[in-house]
Amino acid sequence: MPTNADYNELVSQLAFKQQRNDAIYRLIGAINARDLARVTVRPEVKGSLIQGLTHENAKVRWWCLQLMDHLADESFIPYILPLLDDPVGKVRKHAIHALTCDICKPDKCGLALNEEVRRRIEAAAQMDPDHRVRQEARRGLSAWAQAQTIVQPCRPNIDLQ
């Protein structure tokens, strides 16, 4: 049975293109979006993905966000929020995407985001130094405004046993 250290090592391997797909498969059990929508993630893997959000390598942070985006677990939200201030624009942009994109989520079911999250994304839309981050924030806010209803929370793909 893999240990937490094994999962942490797999998360670190996300930095390397040659190792990435194998690492994702060993962590999550799927690679493509359709299959990711059907997986159940072990709590140990979830913890390693959360730790990966603070990894020194921006590629690891980005790939952890990418996986979280498709897993649609609202318990990830407090760990994603600090990445709205990441020093790397691509990571900030993907943090916004992971929070706001319904299309990537299983059953197109978006995360239930509170007003604090909305304010943070509004601030990024106005003040982020990277125009791509501002654009992603505006896209997320626009989609949110179009919905104009409270999003039904998604069923997380996490094994709670």
CATH number of 56's domain: 1.25.10.10
Give the rounded percent of residues in the chain with a pLDDT score beyond 90: 61
Determine, yes or no, domain membership for 83: yes
Determine, yes or no, domain membership for 158: no
Determine, yes or no, domain membership for 155: no
Q: Is 41 helix (H, G, I), strand (E, B) or coil?
A: strand
Q: Please count the structural domains in the chain.
A: 1
Determine, yes or no, domain membership for 97: yes
Q: Write out the residue range of the structural domain in which residue 26 sits.
A: 4-147
Query: Left (φ > 0), alpha (ψ -120 to 50) or beta: where does 158 sit?
Result: beta
What pTM, to 2 d.p., does this model score? 0.86
The string over 126-145, giving b where at least 16 C-beta atoms fall within 10 Å of a residue's C-beta and e elsewhere, is eebeeeebbebbbebbeebe
- pLDDT (tens digit, 9 = 90+) per residue, 130-155? 999 999 999 999 877 665 444 455 55
- pLDDT (tens digit, 9 = 90+) per residue, 41-88? 999 999 999 999 999 999 999 999 999 998 878 899 999 999 999 999
Determine, yes or no, domain membership for 153: no
